[in-house]
Amino acid sequence: MREAYRDQLGQLADALAEMCGMATTAIELATQALLTADLTLAEQVIADDAKLDEARSQGEEHAFALLALQAPVAGDLRNVVAALHAAESLERMGDLALHVAKTARRRHPQAVLPDEVAPYFVEMGRVASELGKQAEQVIRTRSVSLARQLEDADDEMDDLHRHLFTVLMQKDWKHGLPAAVDITLLGRFYERFADHAVSVARRVVFVVTGEHPQQADSGS
């Protein structure tokens, strides 16, 4: 029974890691769609989001079955509860990538990003992808030290986000208000993606150390 339980817990972690990989791919493709006004890519991200929703639903059922049939306690219980929370964050990361893709689709064939802000999104996309990959590794390895590294990448995202706003607020902005509104929301989507990745990693830290995670806040 104990052995079977461990196996199931391992499968649950694998499923979460896979969800994390899906969310990472989604933000990578959405960023590319945004930067290159690639409608096909945007449509792919939008269509693929249902798979992540389905994976979350399955993960939740799996966690549920573990709780009902095995009645875990202590560390094992913490593990399952963390998995439930992580699944929610991972689905949300997918939703945020979806929003980026939808913005690209809505403006197609126009590019959403003027030249002076595009580099910020190249960087925010890179950091988001890095955070997604790190979170996946944290789920797989339960490495507390790697989980702490996510905080650094998240700080980098916050810096990028702040600088982006500085550019937006400059007096000589000449791309009009609709572009500014899109960019404001896009910046927020990347920032929240990062927050959720950090939140997933913090949940793993909680499981490993018993130390209660702080809620990843949005810094605004």
Return residues touching a second copy (CB under 8 A): 53, 56-57, 64, 67-68, 71, 73-74, 77-78, 81, 84-85, 88, 91, 95, 99, 102, 165, 168-169, 173, 177-178, 180-181, 184-185, 188, 212, 215, 217-218, 220
E strands, the chain, in order: none
Residue with tokens 């993606």: 193
Tokens of 68: 């009902």
- Least distance (Å) between residue 170 CB and a second copy: 9
- Least distance (Å) between residue 80 CB and a second copy: 9
Q: Which is nearer to a second copy, 11 or 184 (CB)?
A: 184
- Least distance (Å) between residue 73 CB and a second copy: 5
CB neighbour class for 70 (10 Å; exposed up to 12, middle 13-18, buried from 19): middle
Q: Which is nearer to a second copy, 79 or 137 (CB)?
A: 79
Q: How far apart are CA 88 and CA 81, in angstroms?
A: 11
Q: How far apart are CA 120 and CA 124, in angstroms?
A: 6
- Least distance (Å) between residue 114 CB and a second copy: 13
Q: CA 102: distance to chain centroid?
A: 16
